[in-house]
């Protein structure tokens, strides 16, 4: 009798559902992987024919763009060390690796008049190395490092970029689509437009809020749709892959019962601006976003809204252009709006995304679980976000393409371990309620150039020692824990790895070439 009860208990204790459990199983069909992006890890910024991107330009022209005045000229040197990167992926036993293509490494003029053989060879080698070990390449076509030449022509504010991007995407499909089955068109449109064109935080650091960011939004949506349609019409049939966009969505929760409207508006401005045109049945920008920007624009004496309209033809061109949803998520915020908010924004007379949105947000201090506030911990927000997406967008399959925790870099990173466990558990809760999750990606495989934070914030499963010219990578505790999660397909809240044993390649876990 006792044995039967203990077997039953053991079975229960590793089931998928039941938040209170310390051991939960992860459905086997969910792909587990890790990610990086070209500029943040490759280095070799001007090697073998690669030309300058807006990211190279920014770190060279503003020496202290990054907090620590660093640049990414060498970064983690993945251009030369990609075999070690793949070895790390094998050590972890991942199903896939998400990485991005550097546009100027492949097309040095920005246009397809000249294809750079050495750049093509690099990605080809990386893809072959991954496939050799049965790791799926998940390729982001554009992760923020636009050719500087195209920026001189207006970058993402110039409508011609829809053609420029489409041409680049077509080159990528033709070169690598025989081996790549997962394509991500564009990474994080909100961050690209809001921080790249509306603020000084990421390249090209235009800092024209409420204007350049909205021009960018429209062009990004159309360019993404162009990439999708090209793949759909010209490549899908014989390449048999899938294509989707990756949108970052942080969750805005009402601070109080009076703040529902503020939270809804914040969610719609920060990411609904991109999910709604692509995923909703009606298409187009969210009504509330169109309305608020139009009203503010009129108040400012403008003759038309600063958010350029989408014509009905454009609405149809964009709607439905993603096979699944790529979702990046890190944290949540409390949103509110009250009399002092109105007064504060009322004093901003020029164009401003924040004033257009009109909601304030913050993160309470007790969400901090590490020594820095780089990523505040609120896993319940992840659950709410996934649940919202399930209801709002007909339970579209979601591929979590980034989730991760920044700190100052110790090898024993218990804060990151706690974070991953909390967020994976929230994801499992959402799955239990019916959310359709197809993949989960940790950001990042290794420490990398963290945009305005340079190397001052570390976010890798592997630590990169930038003080050593051979840039050795060392697994953190979180790498050991993630490996065990992948190996056992269970989330064990109490698992303690033995870090005296080097993390090594385990062939039994690294040989599944799995598909969604």
Complex with ligand NOJ: residue 57 or 319, whichever CB lies closer: 57
Give the x-and-dash track for 423-462 against ligand NOJ (CB under 6 A).
--------------------x------x--------x---
Beta-carbon count within 10 A of 259 CB: 21
Tell me, by CB under 6 A, how many residues bind ligand NOJ: 9
Complex with ligand NOJ: residue 35 or 175, whichever CB lies closer: 35
Structure tokens at 318: 């964009």
* Residue ranges in 89-148 that form contacts with ligand NOJ under rule CB under 6 A: none
Please spell the DSSP secondary structure of 49-68, one letter per residue: T---BHHHHHHHHSTTSSTT
* Residue ranges in 279-338 that form contacts with ligand NOJ under rule CB under 6 A: 328
C-alpha distance from residue 61 to each of 45, 197, 255, 356, 511 (Å): 14, 17, 41, 31, 45
**Catalytic residue at 234?**
no
Calpha distance 416→406 (Å, rounded): 8
478 makes contact with ligand NOJ (CB under 6 A): no
Sign of CA dihedral 390, 444, 362, 266: negative
Contacts of 58 (CB under 8 A, 6+ apart): 65, 203, 204, 205
188 makes contact with ligand NOJ (CB under 6 A): yes
Structure tokens at 383: 């659950």
Complex with ligand NOJ: residue 184 or 479, whichever CB lies closer: 184
Calpha distance 493→425 (Å, rounded): 9
* Residue ranges in 400-419 that form contacts with ligand NOJ under rule CB under 6 A: 402
Choosing from 42, 91, 129, 188, which is the catalytic residue?
188
To ligand NOJ, the closest distance from the beta carbon of 457 in angstroms equals 8
Calpha distance 446→36 (Å, rounded): 8
- The answer to whether residues 105 and 122 touch, using CB atoms and an 8 Å cutoff, is yes
Complex with ligand NOJ: residue 71 or 328, whichever CB lies closer: 328
Give CA 44 to chain center in angstroms.
Answer: 23
To ligand NOJ, the closest distance from the beta carbon of 328 in angstroms equals 6
Choosing from 91, 250, 253, 402, which is the catalytic residue?
402
Three-class DSSP category at 186 = strand
To ligand NOJ, the closest distance from the beta carbon of 458 in angstroms equals 11
Complex with ligand NOJ: residue 120 or 192, whichever CB lies closer: 192
Among 21, 37, 102, 332, the residue binding ligand NOJ under the rule CB under 6 A is 37
Complex with ligand NOJ: residue 45 or 443, whichever CB lies closer: 443
**Strand locations in 148-191, DSSP E?**
182-187
| Half-sphere exposure of residue 42: CA atoms within 13 angstroms, side-chain side | 26
**Catalytic residue at 188?**
yes
187 makes contact with ligand NOJ (CB under 6 A): yes
Structure tokens at 458: 């570390």
To ligand NOJ, the closest distance from the beta carbon of 234 in angstroms equals 27
53 makes contact with ligand NOJ (CB under 6 A): no
**Interface with ligand NOJ by CB under 6 A: which residues?**
37, 40, 187-188, 328, 402, 443, 450, 459
- State the catalytic residues: 188, 402
């Amino acid at each position: 009798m006792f044995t039967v009860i203990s077997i039953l208990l053991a079975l229960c204790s590793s089931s998928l559902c039941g938040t209170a459990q310390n051991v939960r199983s992860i459905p086997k069909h969910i792909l587990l992987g890790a990610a990086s992006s070209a500029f943040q890890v490759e280095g070799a910024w001007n090697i073998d024919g690669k030309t300058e991107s807006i990211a190279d330009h920014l770190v060279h022209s503003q020496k202290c763009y990054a907090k620590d005045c660093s640049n990414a000229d060498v970064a983690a040197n993945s251009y030369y060390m990609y075999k070690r990167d793949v070895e790390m992926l094998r050590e972890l036993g991942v199903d896939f690796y998400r990485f991005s293509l550097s546009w100027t490494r492949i097309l040095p003029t920005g246009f397809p008049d000249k294809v750079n053989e050495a750049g093509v060879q690099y990605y080809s080698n990386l893809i072959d190395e991954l496939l050799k070990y049965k790791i799926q390449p998940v390729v982001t076509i554009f992760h923020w490092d636009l050719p500087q030449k195209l920026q001189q022509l207006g970058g993402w504010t110039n409508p011609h970029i829809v053609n420029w991007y489409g041409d680049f995407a077509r080159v990528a499909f033709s070169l690598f689509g025989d081996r790549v089955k997962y394509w991500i068109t564009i990474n994080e449109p909100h961050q690209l437009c809001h921080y790249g064109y509306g603020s000084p935080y990421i390249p090209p650091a235009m800092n024209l809020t409420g204007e350049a960011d909205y021009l960018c939004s429209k062009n990004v949506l159309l360019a993404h749709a162009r990439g999708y349609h090209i793949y759909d019409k010209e490549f899908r049939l014989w390449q048999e892959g899938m294509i989707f966009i990756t949108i970052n969505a942080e969750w805005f929760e009402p601070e109080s019962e009076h703040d529902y409207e503020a939270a809804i508006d914040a969610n719609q401005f920060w990411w609904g601006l991109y999910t709604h045109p692509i995923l909703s049945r009606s298409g187009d920008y969210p009504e509330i976003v169109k309305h608020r920007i139009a009203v503010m624009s009129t108040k400012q004496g403008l003759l038309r809204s600063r958010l350029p309209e989408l014509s009905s033809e454009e609405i149809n061109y964009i709607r439905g252009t993603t096979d699944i949803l790529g979702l990046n998520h890190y944290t949540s915020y409390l949103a509110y709006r009250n009399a002092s908010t109105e007064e504060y924004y009322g004093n901003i007379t020029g164009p401003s995304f924040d004033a257009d949105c009109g909601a304030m947000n913050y993160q309470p201090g007790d969400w901090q679980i590490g020594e820095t506030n780089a990523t505040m911990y609120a896993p319940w927000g992840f659950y709410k976000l996934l649940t919202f997406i399930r209801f709002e967008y007909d339970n579209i399959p979601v591929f979590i393409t980034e989730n991760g925790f920044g700190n100052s870099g110790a090898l024993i990173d218990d804060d990151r371990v706690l974070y991953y466990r909390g967020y994976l558990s929230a994801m499992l809760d959402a799955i239990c309620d019916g959310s359709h999750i197809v993949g989960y990606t940790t950001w990042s495989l290794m420490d990398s150039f963290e945009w305005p934070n340079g190397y001052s914030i570390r976010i890798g499963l592997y630590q990169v020692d930038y003080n050593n010219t051979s840039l050795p990578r060392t697994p953190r505790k979180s790498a050991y824990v993630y490996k065990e999660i992948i190996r056992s397909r269970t989330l064990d809240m109490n698992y303690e790895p033995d870090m005296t044993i080097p993390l090594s390649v385990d062939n039994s876990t690294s040989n599944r070439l799995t598909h969604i």
